[in-house]
Amino acid sequence: MLRETASQTAGPYVHIGLALASAGNPTRDEEIWNEMAKPEAEGEHIEVVGTVIDGNGDLVRDAFLEAWQADANGVYQPEFDLEKPFNSFGRTATTFDHGSEWSLKTIKPGQVTHPNGRPMAPHINLAIFARGINIQLQTRLYFEDEREANAACPVLSRIESPTRRQTLIAKREEVDGKVRYRFDIKLQGEGETVFFDF
Amino acid sequence: MQDLNKRFVERDRNWHPPAYAPGYKTSVPRSPQQALVSMQQPSVSELSGPDFRHLRMGPHDNDLLLNFREDPSLSGAAGLPVGERIIMFGRVVDQFGKPVPHTLVEMWQANAGGRYRHKNDRYLAPLDPGFGGVGRTLTDEQGWYRFRTIKPGPYPWPNDPNSWRPSHIHVSVMGPSISTRLITQMYFEGDPLIPLCPIVHTLKDPDAVETMIGHLDMARSKPMDCLAYRFDLVVRGELQTYFENQ
């Protein structure tokens, strides 16, 4: 069996390759970016925002993130097409501008079934790439207002420490009548976000 | 259809660089201290991923010699970037050697002088008005991809008092699912900076370093025009599972 090509950090300039607008560079006709849901997409429209914080408590202002989530009915839509109202895949980044927050405009995902037959609580898979990160960190974002589903989620319950499970729960905020969830990712130290191997 | 009858070969995290690799200083505050939580049974959330066949690409998205030309109507050498003209090509396969067709391969790089077109790069080497440094393409039916570009230059960076990155092209490949998602760097065969680089040194196994080397391929070069480097990518192998939950 062949060995997998080894991973390397995405480095400080990942934005020029994978997040052109946020690097201040001209974009192409179609870019893969953070508007996963258009206004006409079915489901509850939400914004998901957050920061990435390093082990010193400082903002990581050069991170690049990828999101993968089911649609409102709990179905993944693999066919990426910017003409569709919803795409399961999106990208976002933190930069030296805009308070160094990343943001995704999406819809709240429905429940997806775990192979053991039980439903998983609604979640968004996130991968974090940045300078200093040698292989992407994989995590899941869950929603604070899904207490019951979260308590029953077979993946969340696999995390031995209940304290650590809390690092995966995004906090609900309402801004100008719109629903927003905040999910700050702590790479290291106190309150360190849970990262997965799969 | 959500195909749950598959899984991917486990990622060998001793082969890949560890999160904490203190020779590469930025990894010190950016590496988790807690153990990763392993999913013994990945779900469709991990086993699926995006398919980019409907992403509309421009005609020069994989041609960095032309995709930043200020005036596309220019002919001949006018407005072309300065540097070694090269073709970078290769095949994306999985660990069983199976080609990975129609997958998104993206790349970005510095110009011939080692300068990135990014507002935070303040290295004194100048920008090239004819060079942007970004490309993307889909692999074909057999897993092949191809870019045309200029060979990037090395550049200094603040790690050790005198650290220089070897010439490299950042390469991003999706593969069939988010489990196979990979970002790496292609280095150029024979570059004496490779063994000196703290980022290369995040890998412990020299054979793993070898997976990141692009090799000169004279047969694929174009006489009197450009040289060619071959860089194959291997993503995690895809297996069918037959006896799940029984």
Kindly report, residue by residue over A31-61, the tens digit of the pLDDT: 999 999 999 999 999 999 999 999 999 999 9
In terms of CA atoms, which chain A residue is nearest residue B19? A134
- Is residue A170 within 8 A of residue A144, CB to CB? The reply is yes
The pair of three-digit structure tokens given for residue A40, joined into one six-digit string: 């006409």
- Of B183, B123, B198, the C-alpha closest to B153 is B123
Residues of chain B with pLDDT under 50: 1-2, 246
Residues of B in contact with A15 (CB under 8 A): 118
pLDDT on residue A186: 98
Residue type, position B167, single letter: S
The string of DSSP codes covering chain B is ----SEEEPPP-TTTSPPS--TTSGGGTTTS-SSPPEE-SS--HHHH---B-TTS---TTTTBTTTTT-S-TT--TTTTPPPS-EEEEEEEEEETTS-B-TT-EEEEE---TTS--SSTT---SSPP-TT---EEEEE--TTSEEEEEEEPPPPEEESSSTTEEEPSEEEEEE--SSTTT-EEEEEEETT-TTGGG-TTGGG---HHHHHTTEEEE-GGGSBTTTBEEEE--EEEPPEEE-SSTT-
Determine whether the interchain pair B43/A9 forms a contact, defined as Cβ–Cβ distance below 8 Å: no
Determine whether the interchain pair A194/B57 forms a contact, defined as Cβ–Cβ distance below 8 Å: no
Query: Count of A–B CB contacts within 8 Å?
Result: 271
- To the nearest whole Å, the CA of B195 is away from the closest chain A CA by 15
Determine whether the interchain pair A132/B36 forms a contact, defined as Cβ–Cβ distance below 8 Å: no
Give, as one character, the DSSP assignment of residue A91: E
Determine whether the interchain pair A66/B236 forms a contact, defined as Cβ–Cβ distance below 8 Å: no
In terms of CA atoms, which chain A residue is nearest residue B48? A78
SS3 A76: coil
What is d(CA A88, CA B182) in angstroms, rounded to the nearest whole number?
Answer: 18
Q: In tens digits, what is the pLDDT along chain A, a chain of 198 residues?
A: 999 999 999 999 999 999 999 998 999 999 999 999 999 999 999 999 999 999 999 999 999 999 999 999 999 999 999 999 999 999 999 988 867 999 999 999 999 999 999 999 999 999 999 999 999 999 999 999 999 999 999 999 999 999 999 999 999 999 999 999 999 999 999 999 999 999
- To the nearest whole Å, the CA of B36 is away from the closest chain A CA by 5
pTM of the complete model: 0.97
Determine whether the interchain pair A14/B108 forms a contact, defined as Cβ–Cβ distance below 8 Å: yes
**ipTM exceeds 0.90:** yes
- To the nearest whole Å, the CA of A191 is away from the closest chain B CA by 10
The distance from CA B52 to its chain's CA centroid, rounded to whole angstroms, is 17
pLDDT on residue B245: 58
Q: Which residues contact A174 (CB under 8 A, 6 or more apart)?
A: A180
pLDDT (tens digit per residue) in B27-63: 999 999 999 999 989 999 999 999 999 999 999 999 9
> Which residues, in sequence order, are bridge partners of residue B154?
none
pLDDT on residue A8: 98
Q: Which residue among B11, B30, B182 sits closest to A188, beta carbon to beta carbon?
A: B30
- To the nearest whole Å, the CA of B200 is away from the closest chain A CA by 8
- Is residue A134 within 8 A of residue A7, CB to CB? The reply is yes
Determine whether the interchain pair B183/A7 forms a contact, defined as Cβ–Cβ distance below 8 Å: yes
Q: Which residues contact B60 (CB under 8 A, 6 or more apart)?
A: B66, B67
pLDDT on residue A67: 98
